[in-house]
Structure 1
């Protein structure tokens, strides 16, 4: 076995192949054997039970192998995100795990994205879709700010997200939480769903981990919470989601927006409370 491209053919049970993976556009595989940078040693298993002396190796076997689903799936923000209005502003929070199938593509990604100086969004769904939507909204809102001569309202940013998500709902997998602070209404949170609906809420949660914490959030949320209390509410909710949801994990990032400005915080390791610690 030398370096070759996989084609249909018969190979002996004892044979092994070095595949030229550039033929498939992949930089690394783990198929029937051992990954070696851009090449893979493939051991022919000889059919059912290893009794057959020959086996039929097809291109589709490579393209559909279960161990390589991460090479074909898009990056997903299998996510836990939330935002909460408190007395004086808003707090956004998110985990940091990005997955591609069952493979963790990034364990410290930042899912809290700036739109204006005091309006940010939390992204869940397809990483590519949500990044593209955020870029479009940031551009259109910056043009709108130049036209009106001041920072746009949080509601305006939320409605721009809604417009793009609704008009492209058949082609997008994106759920957004838009939150921020303006001089007109103070802190606000808007949830933009997968279908493009927009809801103004005192708190919003989204992502794969959110299904585990609806009861916790309903029981522990209080109107008019102070900054510290709201921050602990966000951290505990995200920690619970991360402990239950396999697609959520990594670290917790929070962002506080109020009249004074923006403050980012980062929690990792032992700073993240266990769901069993006195809850």
Structure 2
């Protein structure tokens, strides 16, 4: 995730982060790195990009930090109002639809990609990918610049019948791989596990992340 503007002489907006979410039977696991950069400078090493928008609904943020955080705050407000009006907790699909509508309406003004995940009484654990007005429910979703480094890994390692613990390991391993290869991803890893009973948040320090290769062993 980068909090930055357009580069001189080009309309390209640099984005950098790694976010991931995966469904298991009864809930979801979501994860992100914590690095925030402005162009080539790291401005925040420990930002939690997993934003709680309701009791059991989270958004994983990527893109412009300001845009993504603003979207999450607006979604949080609308879900709070909606839950008061209907007298019960909102559905995950409702949150994802709000993100989709906002992404499409302000696609020229906002640079943000949010993955929505959570648990509700109707459909259990759910993961939704949203981008520029597109909304799809997926068994798992990845986003951010670090995702390009791990598509092969997640496609090979994902299994439809993974347990809660296996999903947590899947997310941690994916983040560790992306953070080791993508210069815009790094810091600590944030993890949230949501099911019908609990919401468990965890911060994993760099020393506790799995290491898949040793740079000192690579010959020059």
TM over 0.5: yes
After superposition, the C-alpha distances for 1:55-101 in whole angstroms (9 at most, x for unaligned) are xxxxxxxxxxxxxxx99748976100000001221000000000000
Matched with 2:62 is 124
Q: Would you say 1:229 and 2:166 are equivalent positions? A: yes
**Aligned match of 1:258 in 173, 176, 195?**
195
Report the secondary structure of 1:223's partner residue: coil
CA distance in 1, matches of 2:174, 2:206: 16
**Aligned match of 2:25 in 62, 87, 100?**
87
Q: Which has the higher contact order (CA 8 A, sep 6+)?
A: 2
CA distance in 1, matches of 2:172, 2:3: 33
Within-5 A mapping of 1:140-219: 140-193=78-131, 195-219=132-156
CA contact (8 A) 1:77 1:97 kept: no
**Aligned match of 2:16 in 73, 78, 90?**
78
CA distance in 2, matches of 1:138, 1:93: 19
Matched with 1:14 is none
CA distance in 1, matches of 2:195, 2:90: 15
**Unaligned residue ranges in structure 2 (runs of 5+):** 7-12, 215-220
Matched with 1:245 is 182
CA distance in 2, matches of 1:129, 1:123: 9
**Compared CA separation, residues 229 and 102, structure 1 to 2 (3 A):** same
Of structures 1 and 2, the larger Rg is shown by 1
**Aligned match of 2:51 in 108, 113, 129?**
113
Matched with 1:273 is 210
Matched with 1:96 is 34
Q: TM-score, normalised by structure 1?
A: 0.71
CA distance in 2, matches of 1:148, 1:77: 37
Q: CA RMSD in A?
A: 1.9
After superposition, the C-alpha distances for 1:209-262 in whole angstroms (9 at most, x for unaligned) are 001111100000011211111100000001000111000000101000001110
CA contact (8 A) 1:76 1:127 kept: no
CA contact (8 A) 1:78 1:208 kept: yes
CA distance in 2, matches of 1:182, 1:267: 27
Matched with 2:217 is none
Q: TM-score, normalised by structure 2?
A: 0.90
**Unaligned residue ranges in structure 1 (runs of 5+):** 1-69
Report the alpha carbon displacement of residue 269 of structure 1 after superposing the two structures with TM.
2.5
